[in-house]
Structures are given as C-alpha cells and as structure tokens.
C-alpha cells in the first residue's frame, strides 16, 4: 500500500494526474480483495456500479465537487438508494429508493460510495460482535473486538479501504471504534447532521458520525454533510461557522476528572497513555483544570438504566412483533427491557437529566473542553462473549452521556499502548463547539502520532493556515476575547473562526486597565521600536457579526487598524490613551495570557 486515501493526498494526486477516480476504484477493489475480510461489509456495490459513479464524478470535474472522487463507506443503518438497508438483520432488510439526506449531500459533492458496512445489530452495542454477518477483524489484533456499533465503518477506514465512512453515534458508536482502530471519530452536535434516512436507535439522541484518517478530513466531510435539513424534525441549524475548521488556539483551558473519578476497570496500560495525552495538551498551551465528573457519570448511567431503552423498543417493536426470533439474542435482551417502562419513568428520568445537565453546563464556564479516555480498556472477543452486557456497559463509561447532555465530541488517536494496541482520548465541548474541538484535536493528533489508521502511512502535514475569505473581516483580539478568556464567547456566538495566533510589530505597548470587569488590557500604538511584539489572535467574522461586536464594545476600547509583525494590517482592539491613568504597563510580558500567568 503506497497511496494514502486522506483527502489532502487524494486531491494532490488528482490534480497532478497521477490517478483518476476510475483508476482509484480499480485500486480499491484490489485492496478489498487483498484485505480479505468479508465481515467488514454487508453489501458492496459492483465494479460496474462503482465505475458508473466514477464516470459521473469525472464528467462534472473537481471544481464544483469538494469531495471529488473520494471513496467512502456507509454504515448499514443509513440509506443508499439502490442498495439494501439491513441494520445487520437480514429479515429487516428493505430497498430504499432515496439516499439518506447526508449521503445525498456527499454524493452531490463527488464522493463515491463503495458499500454498506457491518454493525452491531440495530446499532445496539459498543463491542462490534453482535451481528449475524460476522465480526469485522480488528486490524491491530485479530483476537480483540473492533468496537461498535459502527464496526465495519471503522475497520474499513483503518485498513485503507476507503477515505472516510459514516457511522452513527447514540451512546458512543462513533467514538469507541475510532479508538480501537487508531482513527478520528467525529460525533457532531446533536442535530447538526440530518438523521433522515437513518434507521433509528433512539431518535431523540441519534447522530450521524464520521470516521476519518485525520481531523481535517472528518471536519471537511461534516461541513459538506451538515447542511440544515428542515424535513428532519430533530435537525437544528448550525450557527455560522460552527462546523468550519479553525486554527488551534495558543491558550485554552481543559478539564480532567478529579483524582479518583477515572475508573480503568483493572486496566494497567491505558492510564499511562492518558497521562501522556494530557501532557501533550499542556505542551500545546493548555491549562489543566480538575473538574467534577459526577454529573457526566450519572447522566451516562441514565442511558441504559432509564427510559431511553424504551425509545429503542419503540424503534423496533413493530418488527419484533413479527420477527422476534430474528433479532440477535443479546440485542433482543437489551431492547425488550424497554417494553415494561412506564410514562412516569420517562418524566422522572427527565427531571434527573435536567438537573444533571444544569450541573454539567457549569463545567463549560470553567473550561473550554473536557478530555477523557475514549474507552477505559479494550477486550478480546472471547471476554465479550463470556460477559456481553457488563463489558459493553464499561465501554460506554466515557461516551454514554454526550447526547443526553447535548455535547459535541471528537475522538482523537493519541498513540499506542505498550501491547501495541491503539489508544485515544475524546475532547468534549458544549453544543456547537465542533470547530473549536477540531482545531485542538488536529493539533493533538499530530503531536501524538506519525501514521494513520492501520495503514502505516504517514499522517499528512497540517493544512495551510486558514485565510480570511472575501466576505469576512479579520479582527485581532488581545485580551478578554482570546481563547479561554471570559469574553471569547462573544466571538464564538457570532460564528467567528480563529485564523491564527500572531504578534503585533514592535510599536505597541500593553497596559492592564484599572477597574475593568472582567479584567482587560489596553493596546496602544507608539512609534516604531517604542514597544514590543504583543501576542494577538486573529479571528474572521462576517460583516454583520463584526458590526454587532463593534456596537457592543465599551469605552475606553475601540476598533482600529493593528499592524502585525509580518507586515500585514488587520482590524483590532485598541485603547484610548486617556484610559492609561492608573493602568499598569505590562508590555514586558508580551501578551495578556503571559501576564495573567506571571503577573
């Protein structure tokens, strides 16, 4: 295997004529044959069907197709017109005449569907072994589980058979398999990607997820697939810029559970990898803050101990009435548990969840993201067969709460355990923090690893620095609007995206203003060489968002033109000289963050 299927590499090879979509299809068919694991797939498109897709893509060209010729796989609880949908239950199979909304978006963008992948039946499980179609092989160790429920989707990407795949994530099915297969697993904010055309597990919680080799690839796919679908009653329109990749911040606060709140279930290898990941976040400029994990932990228990099991029962009860014997035994046992739950159980659990959500939301006032192990441990297939319920439950310890508490989540590979198995962490944030998680996750991924999936191929270099578009205004912020500072939410709520961290030229001085709440600095320009290079972040805003922000700026601050060290100029926060009476000159620190740490 010599060609990586990451998007950057594919685009470069298409651009220089090294490959064509039809040529790539032939290569992928050869890879699938060589990999020789039929349990990855439930249905694959024929060679003729794939080449027809490739010719269609080639005819339109790359200019209007952002995913030109990109091969992908689809979890077989998501509709692809012309291919059966089984949800890993042969008796349930039906033939959709329309593709799921997200699939159609990807097809329109030039992506080529290779086939439908295996899963834990009816998307119920985190282990990847609950399917009559077999168990996809974990590419790192054949005795280990691949993770579920999106087992085939994850292994197909890890093995280099496709560039990305779609999964679903109700309780962690888009994250646990990512960790076990050395992949990025993006679980977007609930409602960001339409679930129309997806076989429901828990309709109020279901998300379409993305497995990819890099964070940038997962974000690119989500930004294409994430158009608002008004026909999906659970869809939500994303705020401007919420799904658009941004630059990694120079400073941020990340939360980790307080000592004693992480349960490794006897695993002795994963803890040291988690410590290493936390250390990498600190090296990237993060400040570690201990948080109380209790509300997240209690919410996680609600998913299978509360009435949401009844929602799974609702999804399959009509099929169960006629074909109960066709349901995988463990899956049937779980789903039937929802039949006897009462309406009062739903209300009482709803009250508990509301209280837990309020407690969890308080966490986001203290940190920008929370980092957890994606899974505490990994099990062999034999271990799961011997104790299928308990071990599956353990795998959801750090995933089950996400959709109940309305968080975005991004699973990121961070290295390998001493036994050679992959390990990863998940970054969490409040709803619509997707772009910020991607910025940080991409930096963490590259700081931790050099290869992608199980391919052994190099992780591609980071993308070029984000640039301001023609319909945006670049704004330099210097103090309370920096990432992790109290007023940063004024930017993110307006859909601003972080372009880069930069410095002013040496004509500026920075002062800590007296009596401001929250504390703020004032940036004042003098003559050339009379100041120092001051750290700033450059954000991009639409003209409307820029106007809204400017209108809210109080005296003595204002917006002017700030000259950067690279010779460019952008709009930025400046201060009236009259406000410097009683202010402390903090220029020597080189920036507001450095002053807060050392002043």
Active-site annotation, residues: 75, 149, 173
Report how far residue 409's alpha carbon sits from residue 72's, in angstroms, rounded to the nearest whole number.
21
* Residue 205 Cα distances to 139, 172, 551, angstroms: 30, 11, 38
Tokens of 525: 């320009």
Q: For residues 187 and 174, what is the distance between their CA atoms, to the nearest angstrom?
A: 6
Please classify residue 174 by burial: count the beta carbons closer than 10 Å to its beta carbon, then call 0-12 exposed, 13-18 middle and 19+ buried: buried
Are the beta carbons of 426 and 395 closer than 8 angstroms? no
Q: What is the DSSP string of 493-523?
A: TTT-EEEEEEEB-TTEEEEE-TT-SS--EEE
Tokens 């694959």, residue located: 44
- Work out the number of other CB atoms within 10 angstroms of the CB of residue 84: 16
For 294, which DSSP code? H
Distance CA 304, CA 338 (A): 9
Helix (H) or strand (E) holding 560: strand 557-563
Q: What is the edge-to-edge ordering of all strands in the sheet holding 584-585?
A: 521-525, 508-512, 584-585
**431 torsion bin: left (phi>0), alpha (psi -120 to 50), beta (else):** beta
Residue 25 token pair = 């299809």
Closest by Cα among 120, 227, 214 to 170:
120
Helices (H), 324-433: 329-336, 343-363, 381-386, 388-395, 401-404
Residue 396 burial by Cβ neighbours in a 10 Å radius (0-12, 13-18, 19+): buried
Contact yes or no for 255/452 (Cβ under 8 A) = no
How distant, in Å, are the alpha carbons of 254, 499, 566, 569 from that of 469? 30, 11, 19, 15
- Residue pair 156/40 in contact (Cβ under 8 Å)? The answer is yes
The string of DSSP letters for 537-556 reads EEEEE-HHHHHHHHHTPPTT
């Amino acid at each position: 295997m010599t060609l990586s299927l990451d998007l950057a590499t594919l685009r470069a090879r298409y651009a220089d004529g090294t490959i064509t979509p039809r040529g790539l299809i032939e290569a992928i068919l050869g890879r699938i044959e060589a990999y020789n694991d039929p349990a990855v797939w439930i249905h694959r498109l024929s060679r003729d069907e794939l080449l027809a897709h490739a010719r269609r893509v080639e005819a339109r060209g790359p200019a209007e197709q952002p995913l030109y010729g990109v091969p992908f796989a689809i979890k077989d609880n998501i509709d692809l017109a012309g291919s059966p949908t089984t949800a890993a239950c042969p008796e349930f199979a039906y033939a959709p005449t329309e593709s799921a909304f997200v699939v159609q978006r990807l097809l329109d963008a030039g992506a080529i569907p290779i086939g439908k992948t295996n899963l834990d039946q009816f998307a119920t499980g985190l282990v990847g072994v609950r399917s009559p179609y077999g168990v996809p092989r974990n590419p790192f160790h054949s005795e280990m589980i691949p993770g579920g429920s999106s087992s085939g989707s994850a292994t197909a990407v890890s093995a280099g058979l496709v560039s990305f795949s779609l999964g679903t994530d109700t309780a962690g099915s888009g994250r646990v398999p990512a960790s076990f297969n050395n992949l990025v697993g993006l679980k977007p904010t609930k409602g960001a990607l339409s679930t129309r055309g997806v076989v429901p597990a828990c309709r109020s919680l279901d998300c379409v997820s993305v497995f990819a080799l890099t964070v940038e690839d997962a974000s690119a796919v989500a930004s294409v697939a994430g158009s608002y679908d008004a026909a999906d009653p659970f869809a939500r329109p994303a705020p401007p810029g919420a799904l658009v990749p941004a630059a990694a911040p120079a400073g941020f606060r990340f939360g980790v559970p307080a000592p004693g709140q992480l349960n490794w279930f006897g695993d002795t290898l994963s803890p040291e990898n988690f410590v290493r990941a936390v250390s990498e976040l600190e090296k990237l400029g993060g400040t570690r803050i201990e948080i109380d994990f209790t509300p997240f932990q209690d919410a996680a228990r609600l998913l299978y101990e509360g009435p949401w099991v009844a929602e799974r029962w609702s999804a399959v009860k009509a099929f169960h009435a006629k074909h109960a014997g066709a349901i995988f035994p463990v899956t049937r046992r779980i789903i039937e548990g929802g039949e006897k739950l009462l309406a009062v159980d739903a209300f009482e659990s709803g009250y508990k969840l509301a209280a837990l959500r309020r407690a969890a939301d308080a966490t986001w006032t203290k940190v920008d993201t929370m980092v957890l192990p994606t899974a505490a441990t990994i099990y062999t297939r034999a271990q799961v067969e011997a104790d299928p319920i308990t071990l599956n439950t353990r795998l959801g310890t750090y995933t089950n709460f996400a959709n109940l508490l309305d968080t975005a989540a991004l699973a990121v590979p961070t290295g390998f355990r001493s036994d050679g198995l992959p390990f990863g962490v998940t970054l969490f944030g409040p709803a619509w923090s997707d772009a910020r998680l991607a910025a940080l996750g991409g930096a963490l991924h590259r700081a931790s690893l050099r290869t992608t999936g199980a391919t052994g191929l190099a992780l591609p270099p980071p993308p070029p620095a984000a640039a301001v578009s023609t319909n945006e205004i670049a704004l330099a912020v210097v103090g309370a609007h920096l990432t992790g500072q109290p007023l940063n939410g004024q930017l993110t709520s307006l859909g601003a995206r972080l372009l880069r961290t930069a410095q002013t030229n040496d004509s500026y001085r920075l002062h800590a203003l007296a009596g401001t709440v929250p504390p703020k600095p004032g940036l004042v320009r003098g003559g050339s060489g009379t100041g120092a290079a001051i750290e700033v972040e450059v954000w991009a805003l639409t003209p409307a968002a820029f106007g809204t922000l400017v209108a809210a700026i109080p005296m003595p601050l204002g917006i002017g033109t700030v000259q950067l060290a690279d010779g460019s100029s952008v709009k930025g926060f400046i201060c009236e000289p009259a406000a410097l009476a009683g202010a402390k000159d903090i220029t020597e620190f080189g920036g507001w963050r450095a002053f807060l740490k050392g002043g």
